[in-house]
A and B are shown apart, each in its own frame.
Chain A
Amino acid sequence: RKEVEQDPGPFNVPEGATVAFNCTYSNSASQSFFWYRQDCRKEPKLLMSVYSSGNEDGRFTAQLNRASQYISLLIRDSKLSDSATYLCVVWVTGRRALTFGSGTRLQVQP
């Protein structure tokens, strides 16, 4: 079983739609959680950190459920520019490195 699992997609949604991505992690020692966005042939860029209380940044909302070892990302009012691969990333205590999910590809269509 992979340490961080994501639905690979692709998710094809129309502009203006709301889309949700899910991610599960297997190591209960996971301590910090992130969503990164990666455009085609570009580097990953931090979208947002994920906090236990949930957090929101504009159209993006991230949730963490430690009991279920589950992380989600909600994108409201999708824009064409949101088309990218979204990487769920976890820091495991003592591992000293991030663990990446395989990414979920989003394609927003006009």
Chain B
Amino acid sequence: DTEVTQTPKHLVMGMTNKKSLKCEQHMGHRAMYWYKQKAKKPPELMFVYSYEKLSINESVPSRFSPECPNSSLLNLHLHALQPEDSALYLCASSQTSEATGYTQYFGPGTRLTVL
């Protein structure tokens, strides 16, 4: 099973709202990722968690706050977003072993619209 699930599929929020995106995988992967993707652009890395610890933050604004409660779950907390934050937010997971080549499996994404 190479499934990564994400909820919600779609989210519309105002600039003063607080919301959370959720991601779950049961492949035993120990690395999980958040990406942001704008239309006709490749995914852009936001955060990497390795063994439930934040290992990469690509200078993401503090209005995005990641959380990894356990090895299967990854959340992205959103607060005071701007309209330009509207995008597809993708979660991915992978093994961390070099032998597996770091293949990442993506969830279906949450399409976020900020009004």
Q: Do A and B bind each other?
A: yes
In the bound complex, residues from chain B placing their C-beta under 8 Å from that of A96 are 48, 50, 55-56
Q: Quick one: CB contact mask for A29-67 with B, threshold 8 Å, 1 for yes?
A: 001101000000111111001000000000000000000
**B window 28-79: CB within 8 A of A:** 33, 41-43, 45, 48, 50, 55-56
In the bound complex, residues from chain B placing their C-beta under 8 Å from that of A49 are 101, 103
Could you tell me the distance between the alpha carbons of A96 and B109 in the complex, rounded to whole angstroms?
21
Size range of the interface on B? 20 to 34
Q: Quick one: CB contact mask for A17-34 with B, threshold 8 Å, 1 for yes?
A: 000000000000001101
Interface residues of chain A: helix, strand, loop or mixed (majority):
strand
The number of A-B residue pairs with CB atoms under 8 Å apart is 43
Docked-complex contact A43 and B107, CB < 8 angstroms: yes
- For A, the interface residue count at a CB cutoff of 8 angstroms equals 19
In the bound complex, residues from chain B placing their C-beta under 8 Å from that of A72 are none
**Residue of B41, B56, B90, B106 with most chain A CB atoms under a 10 A cut-off:** B106
Do A44 and B106 contact each other (CB < 8 Å), given the known contacts A96-B56, A97-B45, A102-B42? yes
A34, A43, A46: the one within 8 Å of B108 (CB): A43
B42, B88, B102, B106: the one within 8 Å of A91 (CB): B102
**Residue of B41, B50, B103, B105 with most chain A CB atoms under a 10 A cut-off:** B103
Docked-complex contact A100 and B43, CB < 8 angstroms: yes
Docked-complex contact A98 and B109, CB < 8 angstroms: no
Residue positions of A touching B, CB distance < 8 A: 31-32, 34, 41-46, 49, 87, 91, 96-98, 100-103
9 closest residue pairs by CB, A with B: A100-B42, A43-B106, A32-B101, A91-B102, A97-B45, A44-B106, A43-B109, A43-B108, A102-B42
